[in-house]
Amino acid sequence: MRRQLSFSLIILLIFSTEILHTLSATNYGEALQKSLFFYEVQQAGVLPDWNEVSWRADSMENDFIPGGWFDAGDHFKFTLTIAYTATVLAWGLYEYGDAVAKAGLSEKYKNNLKWALDYLVLADQGGKVVGTIGKDGFDHTWWGSPEVYLRKMKLATGDDERPYDVISCTSALALSASALAAGYLVFKDASYLTHAKSLYEAADKTRDNKDQGMQKAYYPATDFYDELFYAANWMYMATGDQKYLDECESDFIPNFPLENQSTDRKFTWGFCWDDHSQAAALLYAINTGKEEWIDQVQRHLDYWTVGYGGKKVQYTPDGMAWLFQWGSTRHCANTVFLALVASDHIFKDNSELQTRYREFAKKQFDYFFGDNKLGISYVLGMGKNPKTVHHRGASGIHDDHWNSLGSSVDDGYQTEYAHVLYGALEGGPNQDGSFTDKVESYQNTEVAIDYNAGFTAALCGMIKLHGGSTISNFPPKEEPKWPEFLMSASINQASDTYTELKVYAMNHSAWPTRVIKDLSFNYYFDISEAIEAGYTAKDITAKIGTQQHANDEGVATISEPTQYKGNIYYVKISFGDGRVVMPTGQSEHRAEIQFRVGFPDGTPAGAWDSSNDYSCKGLEKGNNMVETEYITMYDGDKLIWGKEP
């Protein structure tokens, strides 16, 4: 009986341990849900009604091509990286659509994918593509939210529209063809296939990456045969036309990269926006079943796992496969995706390799989600995250001073991020497993649409293997962490005939970042002593002295004293165009106005006392500006800051 009881307890303990392990495991459905949220954060133009990011609003509505994704933590749009990303996302859905649907994310996934594909259709300029949209130089020097980008650009450069270029870069053309061919496989939209065919023909005809435009400074495309090899496989899959595989044999395979000082096909390095060799090899192996290409894929995946031919990718001391300092998690996630696809196709009958590559995938993803010596999850919004992320929109910065973000030192500048950038895959650790948690450490804290591409596609495969579901309370609606509109003031002078004040009207909005055209504020004062001295409100004057926007459309006016109730009156200072108070820089996020309320010069002293004035509560004389809720601010008739008397 005791033996039976002991055995039962052992079974119970084992079962309980399994339950705890299951409960503590990563929810890949949640991770995919959040990764798709990141892509919605990156949306440019007029946002679709299915966008769930409560702190985003329309931006760059007048771009030459509307829509698309911002590339990274800045506001450029590159067709190259949008096409690369869209292809990988389409591939993930093509392979694992049933798993995505089971997790309840099929519609959300397709919406985000279609957003990019529709942009690529518009980018097709007939033999060329729109390469880059964005203001070179300005974009990387200014730090702010996309919703107010155009206003700052106009102020800084005089331009109303963002520049763009049209390029014939073969890599950009081929990747656009790949994306739309893969998109056709998902959506069966004939227009996608039509554009894919023409873009492929243009890429195949051009075979030249000289014409890259602005893209070259940020994403310099090198060789193009890998992109053509990749695109040809997608075209074959979309059309079934053997000519695409024949061209692989005749033109692209002879140009497959080789190992240094060797005649062996290259199996080192990794799949990314500028190297599609191994991804193309995998597609070709799947499409043809040829053993030499199955072997090529194995060599590459072994290089990333157990090593091949005396070569093996570097690993951090705590276990992450580490290729390169820029976006180390990105390269690893891309390889995980290739490993999963290969395991499901060309190695499906090889249990040893299938196990090897799937275990590699699980271990690397565990690392991403926090199973590392630092206990850091590089997937934002899941687990213990770094303090910083290099992303303008998520910061909610209003004064263009971003250097203090994430700092524990209060230097008077913003240190707290406005938003959680759910689902973004941060750049990742250094080769020694350390992580430089600083906003200016781009290699570690940058995020980008291409960083999330292979990660997102691989999550689809991880859901198939390990399950996962969405969480019902996501995304949470964010509430402001600080006042979005506020007033501060000081007393320049306070005599027995008048009060003169300096006031800042401030816009620190980030939920979403926005400007207000009909902006005003009220200053309240008590005239009891004036009435006792025999005066009325009609004897009191109000005038603006100096103001920041005296020479532009924001010029402010001041009203006559208006009764609020009893002996309490107010003057309203209204901006001609309140949009001049905008969260775009140190000199724009606040507008300074100095004004005087009291009796005209020559009035006998003693009939004015500011000490009982409602709006003077807590104010100090001199230059020390004090935040005050007793000066109220309005959007039209709506109170947006302060407390009325």
Question: Which domains are assigned to the chain?
Answer: 30-222 (1.50.10.10), 485-641 (2.60.40.710)
Q: What is the pLDDT of residue 9?
A: 38
Confidence of residue 602 (pLDDT cuts 50, 70, 90): confident
Max Cα distance, the chain (Å): 108
Q: What is the pLDDT of residue 137?
A: 87
pLDDT tens, residue by residue, 54-113: 999 999 999 999 999 999 999 999 999 999 999 999 999 999 999 999 999 999 999 999
Confidence of residue 16 (pLDDT cuts 50, 70, 90): very low
Q: What is the mean pLDDT of residues 334-346?
A: 98
Helix (H, G, I), strand (E, B) or coil at 621: strand
Q: What is the pLDDT of residue 142?
A: 96
Confidence of residue 5 (pLDDT cuts 50, 70, 90): very low
Q: What is the pLDDT of residue 282?
A: 98
Round to whole Å and give the CA distance between 153 and 371: 43
Active site residues: 74, 390, 437, 446
From the number of C-beta atoms within 10 Å of its C-beta (0-12, 13-18, 19+), residue 255 rates as middle
Both structure tokens of 59: 């931006």
Q: What is the pLDDT of residue 19?
A: 35
pLDDT tens, residue by residue, 410-463: 888 999 999 999 999 999 999 999 999 999 999 999 999 999 999 999 999 999
Q: What is the pLDDT of residue 24?
A: 43
Q: What is the mean pLDDT of residues 640-645?
A: 98
Q: What is the pLDDT of residue 8?
A: 42
Q: What is the pLDDT of residue 188?
A: 98
Q: What is the pLDDT of residue 17?
A: 36
Confidence of residue 25 (pLDDT cuts 50, 70, 90): confident
Do 8 and 16 form a contact (C-beta atoms < 8 A)?
no
The answer, yes or no, to whether residue 1 has pLDDT greater than 80, is: no
**DSSP single-letter state for residue 147:** G
Average pLDDT of the chain, as a whole number: 95
pLDDT tens, residue by residue, 111-140: 999 999 999 999 999 999 999 999 998 988
Give a three-class secondary structure readout of 466-507: HCCCCCCCCCCCCCCCCCCEEEEEEEEEECCCEEEEEEEEEE
Torsions phi, psi of 50, nearest 5?
A: -90, -5
Both structure tokens of 393: 């929109």
How far is C-alpha 85 from the chain's CA centre?
Answer: 14
Q: What is the mean pLDDT of residues 142-152?
A: 97
Q: What is the mean pLDDT of residues 151-171?
A: 96
Q: What is the mean pLDDT of residues 355-366?
A: 98
The answer, yes or no, to whether residue 226 has pLDDT greater than 90, is: yes
pTM: 0.94
Q: What is the pLDDT of residue 125?
A: 98
The H or E element spanning position 106 is helix 106-123
**Prior bond to 512 cis, omega within 30?**
yes
In this structure, the number of other CB atoms found within 10 A of the CB of residue 407 comes to 16
Both structure tokens of 640: 């947006």
